[in-house]
Amino acid sequence: MKHFDTDHGLTFKFQTEVADALAEGQPVVALESNVITHGLRYPHNIAAAQDIEAAVRANGAVPATIFIEDGAIVYGSDPQRLERYATSDGIPKVSSRDLPFVLANRSPGATTVASSLICAQWAGIPIFSSAGIGGVHRGAQDNMDVSADLIQFTRSRVTTVCAGAKMILDLPLTLEFLETHCVPLVAYKSDDFPAFFCETSGLKCPQRMDDPHSIARAINLHAASGAPGGVVVTVPPRPEDAIPTQVAEDALATALKRAESANIVGPGLTKFLMRQLEEATGGQTARANAAVLISTASAAAEIAVALAADTPKSPSIFHTTTR
């Protein structure tokens, strides 16, 4: 493990594999830890985390799963840390607004999409992979429930590779939000905007590219333009992994009624709905979730490899104080 301290009081800890890759300008893919603590059930969460990292390596990049621990950002997993986060109750998911407080309290935490983007940019990791991003929630016209992920896309110069947004959200409004805030959005080898474990939302992506080097050039051109934020790349689930849209919508309708009856709102709603969908489909959605995590990680690695080849090397975090 390599430690880096900054003049601003931030502490970073890197597994040697990740530190060496960053120092040498090799492709690295950032991964969130929230899927381990709040996504899949034990022991499927451990198996999925290992499979995701294996998929990144198989496609030529180094995985950097991001954890918060003892006042530091930790990049890269090991068997002990993975087991601890997969089995411990009460490790909170930490979004971007929570990050400074969790670090100051030296509490453990699992990174979400939004906080992972911040941490990835701190370390100079240009590519982040997730399954489904957050978005505009159904009923947002009344409750203003909009995911912090969408705001963070406009702030962090990191490309997010994902399977679109979760189908429990208002996907037309999510696309409208991304357009309004000028977030570059492109579908990789597809025309449609996927809906997490559904192959399509029925909505089109504004752009399509089939070559990772073309996406890498677009990422570099976006950065060169001086525009803030990062690119969002969508990758649909493989047809054999996808849940039929009607099956998912029928299960969701029931889940939404149960959530309303139980008065479940706010941060706990997403997890409740996802668990309800898992039960209603006999575990199909959980299996599809795990498969999507792997397919997006594979695509993210392909793009990271292309980006590393097409981007001039620049100074990284490894010019800060190390111990």
Q: Is 189 a catalytic residue?
A: no
Q: Per the domain annotation, does 205 fall within a domain?
A: yes
Q: Is 93 part of any known ligand binding site? A: yes
Q: Per the domain annotation, does 6 fall within a domain?
A: yes
Q: Above 50 in pLDDT, residue 321?
A: no
Range of the domain at 91: 2-313
**Domain count for the chain:** 1
**Residue closest to 307 by CA, chosen among 228, 240, 213, 234:** 213
* Catalytic site residue from 2, 69, 166, 199: 166
Per-residue pLDDT, 142:
82
Q: Per the domain annotation, does 319 fall within a domain?
A: no
pLDDT tens string 261-303? 999 887 778 888 988 999 999 989 889 989 999 999 999 999 9
Q: Per the domain annotation, does 290 fall within a domain?
A: yes
pLDDT (average), residues 166-170: 91
Q: Is 113 part of any known ligand binding site? A: yes
Q: Per the domain annotation, does 320 fall within a domain?
A: no
Determine phi and psi for 233, rounding to 5 degrees. -115, 125
Q: Is 190 part of any known ligand binding site? A: no
We report the CATH number of the domain holding residue 201 as 3.40.1790.10
Q: Is 166 a catalytic residue?
A: yes
Read off the pLDDT band of 316 (50, 70, 90).
low
The overall average pLDDT reported for the chain is 93
Q: Is 33 part of any known ligand binding site? A: no
pLDDT (average), residues 28-56: 94
Q: Is 149 part of any known ligand binding site? A: yes
Q: Per the domain annotation, does 138 fall within a domain?
A: yes
DSSP string of 26-91, one letter each residue = --EEEE-SHIIIIISPTTHHHHHHHHHHHHHHHTT-EEEEEEEETTEEEES--HHHHHHHHH-TTP
Q: Where are the alpha helices (DSSP H) in the chain?
A: 16-23, 34, 44-58, 79-87, 99-105, 113-123, 140-143, 148-153, 171-180, 212-224, 245-261, 268-280, 284-310
* Catalytic site residue from 13, 32, 278, 302: 32
